[in-house]
Amino acid sequence: MNKQLTEIDHVRPNCGVIGVWGRPEASTLAYLGLYALQHRGQESAGIVSSDGSKLYHHARMGLVADVFRSREILDRLPGSMAIGHNRYSTTGKSTPDNVQPLLVEDRTGPIAISHNGNLVNYTPLRKFLEEEGSLFQTSSDSELILQLLARSHGKTLSDRLVEALKMVRGAYSLVLLTARQMIVLRDPHGFRPLCLGKFNGGTVVASESCALDLLEAEYVRDIEPGEILVIDESGLNSIKFASSSHKAHCIFEFVYFSRPDSRVFGDNVDKTRRKLGHSLARAHPALDADYIISVPDSSNTAALGFAHESGKPFEIALIRNHYVGRTFIEPEQPMRDFGVKIKFNPVVGVLKGKRVVVVEDSIVRGTTLKKLVRLVRKAGVREVHVRVSSPPIRNPCFYGMNFPTRSELMAAWHSVEEIREFIEADSLEYLTPEELLAAVPHQDCQGYCTACFTGNYPVPIDDEDGPVRFDW
Amino acid sequence: MNKQLTEIDHVRPNCGVIGVWGRPEASTLAYLGLYALQHRGQESAGIVSSDGSKLYHHARMGLVADVFRSREILDRLPGSMAIGHNRYSTTGKSTPDNVQPLLVEDRTGPIAISHNGNLVNYTPLRKFLEEEGSLFQTSSDSELILQLLARSHGKTLSDRLVEALKMVRGAYSLVLLTARQMIVLRDPHGFRPLCLGKFNGGTVVASESCALDLLEAEYVRDIEPGEILVIDESGLNSIKFASSSHKAHCIFEFVYFSRPDSRVFGDNVDKTRRKLGHSLARAHPALDADYIISVPDSSNTAALGFAHESGKPFEIALIRNHYVGRTFIEPEQPMRDFGVKIKFNPVVGVLKGKRVVVVEDSIVRGTTLKKLVRLVRKAGVREVHVRVSSPPIRNPCFYGMNFPTRSELMAAWHSVEEIREFIEADSLEYLTPEELLAAVPHQDCQGYCTACFTGNYPVPIDDEDGPVRFDW
Amino acid sequence: MNKQLTEIDHVRPNCGVIGVWGRPEASTLAYLGLYALQHRGQESAGIVSSDGSKLYHHARMGLVADVFRSREILDRLPGSMAIGHNRYSTTGKSTPDNVQPLLVEDRTGPIAISHNGNLVNYTPLRKFLEEEGSLFQTSSDSELILQLLARSHGKTLSDRLVEALKMVRGAYSLVLLTARQMIVLRDPHGFRPLCLGKFNGGTVVASESCALDLLEAEYVRDIEPGEILVIDESGLNSIKFASSSHKAHCIFEFVYFSRPDSRVFGDNVDKTRRKLGHSLARAHPALDADYIISVPDSSNTAALGFAHESGKPFEIALIRNHYVGRTFIEPEQPMRDFGVKIKFNPVVGVLKGKRVVVVEDSIVRGTTLKKLVRLVRKAGVREVHVRVSSPPIRNPCFYGMNFPTRSELMAAWHSVEEIREFIEADSLEYLTPEELLAAVPHQDCQGYCTACFTGNYPVPIDDEDGPVRFDW
Amino acid sequence: MNKQLTEIDHVRPNCGVIGVWGRPEASTLAYLGLYALQHRGQESAGIVSSDGSKLYHHARMGLVADVFRSREILDRLPGSMAIGHNRYSTTGKSTPDNVQPLLVEDRTGPIAISHNGNLVNYTPLRKFLEEEGSLFQTSSDSELILQLLARSHGKTLSDRLVEALKMVRGAYSLVLLTARQMIVLRDPHGFRPLCLGKFNGGTVVASESCALDLLEAEYVRDIEPGEILVIDESGLNSIKFASSSHKAHCIFEFVYFSRPDSRVFGDNVDKTRRKLGHSLARAHPALDADYIISVPDSSNTAALGFAHESGKPFEIALIRNHYVGRTFIEPEQPMRDFGVKIKFNPVVGVLKGKRVVVVEDSIVRGTTLKKLVRLVRKAGVREVHVRVSSPPIRNPCFYGMNFPTRSELMAAWHSVEEIREFIEADSLEYLTPEELLAAVPHQDCQGYCTACFTGNYPVPIDDEDGPVRFDW
């Protein structure tokens, strides 16, 4: 009867990756980077380091601070190069075997990989490789990339990567480590973020710039979509292995995934997320509301934006308990809305007798929001108006977001009015896809992947038997 | 080199207590209650339950969710009565031996105690008892109360309690459990909070009402200062064992300790804390500031109050990392302000080029605030004005707050201007004691203990060799 | 369905104690000593050390090597004095609370105790102390001794001990530690062993001399019954606090408890145990047997003695699995005689078609032996003759052996012939009490306690409500 | 300063394998089987089970009872088929990655392997496979067999195995498991043992018959060298995939590895080991000795044989401490011969003034024996004559024994007289290879591998760069 409290109703980010080059204590820095990226993956954490001749590995299920619980563990990861990984499972079961970074050996020696993203032709590729006699030890698409790499015949690692990547399609931001090289790359569409920083003689790459901030590294630029960056003793060499006229940045990074203090896709998340709040307030106001409240902490920024634009006061009406662990023991006599109540407690003094706008960043199943609405009503609120700073989610993601299946997506099967009725709100309004695209940077419709909202998949899904990784 | 991240610069609350009577799964409910009270004590947690004939005990160092990590542990605490305890050490070393509830046996059978507070005549009493031949297994003042109880000769437990309590002076909110009775009491001055609730045939007492909320219990009233409440099969019986013309509620509960969604000393914490913000804004405005920001999460409410009163926008400019564990591995090459940076990251977009008011609830050593000011300056802020929603802390507490020694209290030795200089703020202003007292409920000067601000100790400290528990 | 494999049918020894004085790394030496005494108590282990001003404590449920699993744990026990304890529970539940050494504080400061033995007037004494207002935190008779000590008024610790010990009756070999003194003593009857050794400037006391051997200490002498030995900076001082004309050494130490390489009660265990085998072979021969086999390892020595005396070959016919842990997972489809089979496997080649004598040291319930007989029969043995190197156990022990209750003692209710039938042996013979006493050193009938065999209790049992510690 | 106490001076056995087919609770039975085989590998343990459609996996570093510490772990291994493995590392580092059984997936689905033995052409084969594009996740030769299997094209698993095994040379007793089949096989020379049993509708295979005994299975026969046994719903099918005119059973199984209660290579170990003792006594008597003593437990049987043949009494003169864990904390002030003393204590009463024969099964480095001789001398022995029940070990093993390198083999560089001097014995004699071969069953010189004694390697070692797995 243990409740997985992290399974609160959200699209889950997929993974965080980090790479550190040219610094003593590289593994400690990678550990700190993973810690800053903890929100991108809370199921497992791992680091592989290199001292120039050997690779060292430690990876486990658990939060970063639990996986690396002592100085001794980091001491067993020596060397001035290290890559790390936080994970939610996407492709591949969430089991110890799929914990990353993955460390293998091919004819050129040991190689490790950290992968953020998801391939869309995993199944036919795996079938092909199995026919060729390949042996698989995990069900992760990262191993598949390494299998292709092992079979390619180029002279250098980057040559072989170019050859291997010709076979794969989908979303991938990768950091690879051999004894003497770190290689960083991003798929041609640039689905997932990946940025480059410098510090004190060293180089760092990370999914989000908040990791650079903690390490006191200076943000340099994003890794380009279709770029391979080879980092070794001779310096940094950039290779363009592919190009796409269409960028397809995951727009959900701005909506929910990334931390507000990060910079992704070249822009400040806080600034953009605030703009979503502004647009929402303009296009979907709640004229009679007394207060604007957020569901802490993920919709704080959008709610602040909404409040500023609407001129109505922002209020903290839900106190979040941050001691929530990964599992929680529920009473055997079930308590109504236990999972939400253990996480949030309403501030009666703020809510009683008021009309409030609850700003939420997205709705997936709607079950948590329904409980939250009930919670604030019980605290005596008069009216609850829900405003969502993104459009209804109607389609699954095949590029690395950790989604429920389509059958569980509330908006795939129900109208906005039906959802409103389900969550028992007095009103419910969403940003439209157009409003969303207008609010994010570069206002170029082709620069973003909005498949989950619109169904327009920028890279076709051709897993032979359908995208079997998702059970719909 | 592991850094205790919880040692961030704050007066620490002391303890949380909970008691559940008359409900199956009493220990599970106590566990949930402790979870809601986790902010009051993060060093250890424990529960003692009774099934009407035997007492059962489980207590350990660690957070609630770690100490009670499985259903099996709670199953070993059967019965419909249970008391629990969260602790920071006050008197007594923070060691496994001092973990509460304490369970002992005297001639009347087994008895357990959960104690929030601190006695001020511990040393002479202990000396007296030792001379009488008493044997001590802990250095906690809770054991001392039980020793007195064991020596008293009344007929009933409450008679014996009244006799024992005549000897002790100081702050104590207590919950005791025997095989068939739960006894709840509060010292005559009512230093620490303790409230009573009802739910579904059962009774609950807790340090703060947020525990009642989670358990879906209805708040009934506070336990009165000087009241003993005996709960057993015959119902609830209230006894007045002492009275004091002066109440001495710890005013710090409103400033910082209690959760904003709680009700303590009969009033809503959020409402009161917001008023502190209003007063601060009125008496100590920062006229040119662009934004009001808080140090999340503890000063959020006061900052919101300040913002509303001043008419300036409230902003979220510091992102707090809630994955911080109790210890964290620091790099061996020291990083400047590491402890603060691992916890907070500034949102550059909000801060750059702005003049901001940082609202903080209290300043103890000033070291953390100094680092925070540096952090936001580095993010490009133009001016930093610090406003503190309580007066300078100049005196140690002997009634159960977990304070640094006087020598470490910044304001005990330095003027406000010196502190401003130390924390490198552009301006620094505090609420005065008078403004603070004017803002809290009942505006009766004698109703609160403000010793840490004013040096007026409502109960004299007469530990023979001085208050040896605090090393100044 | 976990089977406690240590509950194989034996009287269990009670406890092992160790004390080290005047050596750096005293706690490490105490740890090694406990390790050598592991056979005397496998439920818990603990050490208290002193650095001359403070006492340090570590004690847990588990085997020595598990309780002290790292150098770090021993490093937290500094100083040149240390006492240790291995335990099976005797009086007192086997719970974490009763783990020893016990560390408390009275008016003279901190004091720790390690106790081997059992008091016979625990119940009235406890009642008396409770009436006087004493508070008990454990149900161990060791705490009771400390309570008496806390109430006595002598000038020195040894004066106070003499006063306290006047109240208690029963079996006790004690090692106490204060910040600057180690005190060692033995009850006037000398029930349990305790010996003194010297090494390299330091002093050591231990339950058995095998601990001295491992520490490379030289055996000096036994602590005398009724002797208090005070060890401090001024040297060793011996005080005679009581004398008894009757010694009452536990004869079971020779039969089973002590390790054969130890010296107890001034004599070599191996030599004596071998004599039991000789006597058994002379008085209870098995004329037609082909081989003499033992139940390894506890009856090896007696079986060898039997073999030498009888002139028949000693054989190893049962292979013991030494990887047996404390618990073992049994199949859900029950396997016949699983508990014995997991521990012993018969060597078919030795047993097939032969007539064998199985030498066993003692029989308690008979259930294990029954299974063993079945096991060797299944291996094809022709005849099984059981010879027991001690008399039938007919009475419970109140002096510190860990006995089943009388109702479970096979020989309390059944004749030898009935037992033979139950265990399905072809013949069964025991040593008589007279033969046993004739074989042990000093041949003085009054020198030993043989209560479990004869019912002659050297110290009357006067726990008011009968010896309640044993539930018959 | 933790001492690995298992590294006492012995050739270590390599691995134990178990397979259970057609029984509910197959994984629990495999666990019990591994427990009986614990002496064959104490570094790691693992089980893979199948429920007919999926494979389930649990494997860790540690002893069997630690790796499978709860019923819950076994419950996660459902199905009526299971294979298991105990390991000392042979090829491959002793790291978590090399823990077996190995579980992978190729185009035919999941497959698991348990391997006892060592390939002698690992290096060229791995190089070949890497050139072909294979990716390796471990450095174990078991993965190499699976890689070959993945590349072979036969219709059935056994066809593909025959094809794959054509490539490999060396020692291998294998148990493989797919969702619906268990496959068992042994290399053509039959280096390592593997036997077949039946029980209650099910089938079991194990390295030694002692596992069958514990499971109450009946021994049927050995798996033949060069035989593949396919076990599935259609029953048992035997295929002869290769034959060799020369058998090469590892003679060390009789000398030391196997448990005396086991049957290996078709014969009773106890009986054979006893014959080694007889031969040793006849060819290398010690005429003036008073006693024959063994180094418990491994040389017990040979010592008994020696005693019986010589007519001199067998004595137990060394008490072994069976509570020794895998690591032990040594004092920082080093104690002479600590590692041996923690394990053995001499019985002074037996040794003092006597002339003894110490029977040892084998000598590798000689360092432990030197300490043991010193230990018994210190106990007062007059003469120590060492007799070894196998010849001097002069050559490394490439077929799966866990040997020190040649440079550490005492007898590779020193004469018997030099070794005698080193270990400080009064005399030292070994069995000759001829005497050894005369004592083991079938007296056929070609039936055994004696390479470690004679240097005659039955399968040439052709790892391209020499047998790189061993660093000489």
End-to-end CA distance of chain D: 27
Contact A135/D127, CB-based, under 8 Å? Answer: no
B102/A163 Cα distance (integer angstroms) = 68
Q: What is the C-alpha separation between D225 and D449, in angstroms, rounded?
A: 14
Q: How many CB atoms lie within 10 A of CB C330?
A: 17
Domain boundary among A189, A214, A244: A244
> Do D224 and D290 lie in a common domain?
no
What was the pLDDT predicted at B324? Answer: 66
Q: Any idea of the CA torsion for A443, A445, A451, A457, to the nearest 10 degrees? A: -150
Q: Which residues of chain B lie closer than 8 angstroms to A324, CB-CB? A: 65
Q: How far apart are CA A283 and CA A281, in angstroms?
A: 6
Q: Which residues in B lie closer than 8 A to residue A341 (C-beta atoms)?
A: 213-214
Q: What is the CATH number of the domain that holds A367?
A: 3.40.50.2020
Closest Cα in chain A to B40: A323
Tell me, yes or no, whether D122 and D24 share the same domain. yes
Considering its fold, how many domains does chain A have in total?
A: 2
Chain mean pLDDT for chain C: 89
C378 and C311 together in one domain? yes
- Give me A166's structure tokens: 């010709």
Average pLDDT of every residue of chain B = 89
In terms of domains, do B271 and B317 share one? yes
Q: What is the pLDDT of residues B444-461, one digit of tens each?
A: 545 999 999 999 999 988
Give the pLDDT score at B141. Answer: 87
Residues A139 and A272 in one domain: no
Residue C452 lies in a domain: no
Task: Report the percentage of chain B scoring pLDDT > 70.
Answer: 91
Residue B376 lies in a domain: yes
Residues of A with Cβ-Cβ distance to B297 under 8 angstroms: 320, 322
Contact call for residues A195 and A205 (beta carbons, < 8 A): yes
Among A400, A453, A374, which residue's Cα sits nearest to residue A169? A400
Report DSSP letters for B115-131, one per residue: EEEEESSHHHHHHHHHH
Average the pLDDT over A342-351 and give the result: 91
Domain match, B230 and B346 both: no
Go through chain C and tell me how many residues it has: 472
How near does any CA of chain C get to the CA of B128, in Å? 9
What residue has token string 């009766």? B444
Least confident interval from B147-156, B331-340, D141-150: B331-340
Expressed in angstroms, the distance from the first to the final Cα of chain A is: 27
Contact C104 B135 (CB under 8 A): yes
Same domain as B394, residue B332: yes
- Using CA atoms of B265, B269, B271, B276 in order, give the dihedral in degrees to the nearest 10: 100
Kindly report, residue by residue over B222-237, the tens digit of the pLDDT.
999 999 999 999 999 9
Joined together, the tokens standing for residue D250 give 């590892």
Mutation for testing the A interface, residue in D48, D72, D108, D134 having most A CBs under 10 Å:
D134
Q: Give which of B4, B25, B32, B292 to mutate to test A binding, by max A Cβ within 10 Å.
A: B32
Asked if A450 and A392 touch (Cβ cutoff 8 Å), the reply is no
Contact between B322 and A297 using a beta-carbon 8 Å cutoff? yes
pLDDT of residue C87: 87
Please name which of D388, D368, D345, D323 lies closest in space to residue D8, comparing C-alpha atoms.
D368
pTM for this entry: 0.88
Please write the tens of the pLDDT for every residue from D236-277.
Answer: 999 999 887 789 999 999 999 999 999 999 899 999 999 999
Residue D44 predicted with pLDDT over 80: yes
Q: ∠ at Cα C27 (C22, C30), nearest 5°?
A: 90
Cβ separation A268–B324 shorter than 8 A: no
Chains that touch B (3 or more CB pairs under 8 A): A, C
Single out the residue in D227, D244, D261 at which a domain terminates. Answer: D244
Q: How confident is the model at residue A176 (pLDDT cuts 50, 70, 90)?
A: very high
**Domain of D397, in residue numbers:** 269-444
CA distance B10 to chain C (A): 29
Domain presence at residue D262: no
Q: How far apart are the C-alpha atoms of A83 and A63, rounded to whole Å? A: 17
* DSSP assignments along A338-383, one per residue: HHHHTTEEE-HHHHTT-EEEEEES--SSSHHHHHHHHHHHHTT-SE
Q: Could you tell me the two tokens for C322? A: 């030494």
Q: What is the pLDDT of residue A466?
A: 40
Chains D and C touch (3+ CB pairs under 8 A): yes
The closest of B234, B212, B243, B168 to B463, measured between CA atoms, is: B168
Residues of chain B with C-beta less than 8 angstroms from the C-beta of C151 = 133
pLDDT higher than threshold 50 for residue D470: no
Tell whether the model's pLDDT for residue B335 goes beyond 80: no
If asked whether residues B351 and B392 sit together in one domain, one would say: yes
What residues of B are in the C interface, CB distance below 8 Å?
Answer: 103-107, 127, 130-137, 139, 143, 146-147, 150-152
Is there contact between B and D if contact means ≥3 C-beta pairs under 8 Å?
no
Across B267-282, average pLDDT: 96
In the predicted structure, residue B466 carries a pLDDT above the cut 60: no
**Residues B325, A65: C-beta atoms closer than 8 Å:** yes
A259: in domain: no
Q: Is residue B86 part of a domain?
A: yes
Segment D388-416 mean pLDDT: 89
**Interchain contact A/D (3 or more Cβ pairs less than 8 Å):** yes
Residue A472 covered by a domain: no
For residue C91 the two structure tokens come to 């009086």
| DSSP secondary structure, D130-191, as one string | HHTT--BS---HHHHHHHHHHH---SSHHHHHHHHHTT--EEEEEEEE-SS-EEEEE-TT--
Best to test chain D binding among A61, A95, A137, A148 (most D CBs inside 10 Å)? A137
In 3D, which of B318, B320, B326, B310 has the Cα closest to residue B343? B320
Chain C residues interacting with chain B (CB cutoff of 8 angstroms): 103-107, 127, 130-137, 139, 143, 146-147, 150-152
Residue C305: both structure tokens together: 């003695």
Mark whether C46 and C100 lie in a shared domain.
Answer: yes
CATH number, domain containing residue C93: 3.60.20.10
Cα distances from B288 to residues B292, B312, B379, in angstroms, run 11, 10, 19
**In a shared domain, residues B301 and B392:** yes
Instruction: Write the DSSP string, A247-279.
Output: --EETHIIIIIS-TT-EETTEEHHHHHHHHHHH
Contacts across the B-C interface (CB distance below 8 Å): 65
Per the DSSP assignment, residues forming a β-bridge with C429 are C387
List the structure tokens of D404.
Answer: 């020190």
Number of other CB atoms surrounding residue B234 within 10 Å: 8
pLDDT at site A331: 81
Q: Are A130 and D136 in contact (CB < 8 Å)?
A: no
Max Cα–Cα distance, chain C, nearest Å: 72
Q: Does a structural domain hold residue D249?
A: no
Question: Is it the case that residue D1 has pLDDT exceeding 50?
Answer: no
Touching chains, A (3+ CB pairs < 8 A): B, D
The catalytic residue positions of D are: 15
Tell me what pLDDT residue C406 has: 83
Chain B contact set for C135 (CB, 8 A): 104-106, 134-135, 143, 146-147, 150
CA distance linking residue A392 with residue A431, whole number of Å: 8
Cβ-count burial C346-382 (b if 16+ within 10 Å, e if not): bbbbbbeebbbbbbbbbbbbbbbbbbbbbbbbbbebe
pLDDT at residue A191, rounded to an integer: 95
Is residue A300 over pLDDT 90?
Answer: yes
Considering C15, C250, C397, C452, which one is annotated as catalytic?
Answer: C15
Contact of D410 with D419, CB cutoff 8 Å: yes
For residue range C71-107, list pLDDT tens digits in order: 899 999 999 999 999 987 655 454 566 789 999 999 9
ipTM, 2 decimals?
0.88
Statement to judge: residues B134 and B281 lie in one domain: no
Within 8 A of B150 by CB-CB distance, chain C residues are 130, 133-135
Confidence of residue B13 (pLDDT cuts 50, 70, 90): low
| Residue C57 domain flag | yes
Rg (CA), chain A: 23
Query: Mean pLDDT throughout C189-193?
Result: 95
Q: Given CA atoms D253, D259, D260, D264 in this order, what sign does their dihedral have? A: negative
Task: Tell whether D293 and D218 lie within a shared domain.
Answer: no
* Burial bucket for residue B7 (CB in 10 Å: 0-12, 13-18, 19+): exposed
